[in-house]
Amino acid sequence: MLVCAFACGLLLAQEMNIRPYEPADWDAVRDIWNRGKPDEFRGTCDLRAIIPLERDERMQQLFRDSTIFVGETDGRIIGFAGFKGEVVTWLFVDPDCYRKGYGCALLSFILSRMGSTARLNVGAGNAAAIKLYEKHGFRITNRFNGKYNGYPTKAIGMERTSH
C-alpha cells in the first residue's frame, strides 16, 4: 500500500492510499464507474449508450485485461485507474470527490508504472479530463468519430512521451 499526495495545479489530494485492485473492490469500482460514466460522455455521445458496468461484457473484459489500482481515503474507495501496455484504459473518480486532486494523483501513479509512452482516448466533450491529461504532458494526436455500444461518439486520441 502506498500513501501519496500529489499537487495538481492549486489542488492537493488529501492523503490517499493507492493499492492494487482486489476482487472485493468490485462493488465500489462498479458504482464509481456507473455514476461517473455519464459525466465522461455528456456532450460526446448519447447517454443511452451507457450500459451499467455489471452488464457490459466488453468493458468488463477490458477491466480484467488491465492493471488496475484503487485510491482510497478513510477506508473508502474514491477512484480507480488502470492501464494495458501503453494505453491508459481507466481513470474514474467518485463524482462526490471531483476537483479535489484525486484524479491527478491516480493518473500520476499509473503513469509512473507505465513505460515512456502512454496513449489514451477521451470523449471530445470531456473538457475536464482533456485539461488533466494535458497537464500531465499528453498532446492531442487525432480527433475521430466512432461508435460506443452502437451510438455515434466523438473522441480525441492523446499521447505522452517521456524521456
Contact predicate 44/93, CB 8 Å: no
Pick the closest to residue 88 from 71, 108, 74 (CA basis): 108
Q: What are the extents of the domains in the chain?
A: 2-117
Taking only the tens place, the pLDDT of each residue in 144-154 is 999 999 999 99
Mind listing the pLDDT tens digit for each residue in 17-76?
Answer: 999 999 999 999 999 999 999 988 988 898 999 999 999 999 999 999 999 999 999 999
Locate 163 and state its grid cell.
524521456
pTM of model > 0.75: yes
In CATH, 2-117 is 3.30.2420.10 = no
